[in-house]
Amino acid sequence: MADVITIPENIFYIIIAIIAVVGIIVALMQWRRVREAQSNIQFLERQAELRKIELIEKDLESKRMMENVIPLPKEQQERLSEIRKNTSDLMHKAGYLHSEINERVTRLEAQTEYLKLQKLLQDIDKKEKELDKKTKPTEKEDIQAIKGIKGGK
Residue spans per domain, the chain: 1-65, 87-139
Query: What is the rounded CA–CA span in Å between residue 72 and residue 106?
Result: 48
Rounded Cα distance, 86 and 93, in Å: 10
The pLDDT value given to residue 82? 93
pLDDT tens figures, 59-100? 998 888 777 767 778 888 889 889 999 999 999 999 999 999
- The model carries a pTM of 0.36
b/e code 126-137 from CB counts within 10 Å (16+ = b)? eeeeeeeeeeee
The pLDDT, as a whole number, for residue 150 is: 62
- In this prediction, residue 17 carries a pLDDT of 97
Residues in the chain: 153
Give pLDDT, residue 65: 78
Q: What is the predicted pLDDT for the residue at 153? A: 46
- 12, with CB counted inside 10 A (0-12, 13-18, 19+), is exposed
6 vs 12: CA distance, rounded Å: 10
Pick out the chain residues at pLDDT < 70: 1-4, 69, 137-153
Q: Which pLDDT score is estimated for 62?
A: 86
SS3 (DSSP) at 47: helix
- Taking the C-alpha atoms of residue 92 and residue 90, their distance in angstroms, rounded to an integer, is 5
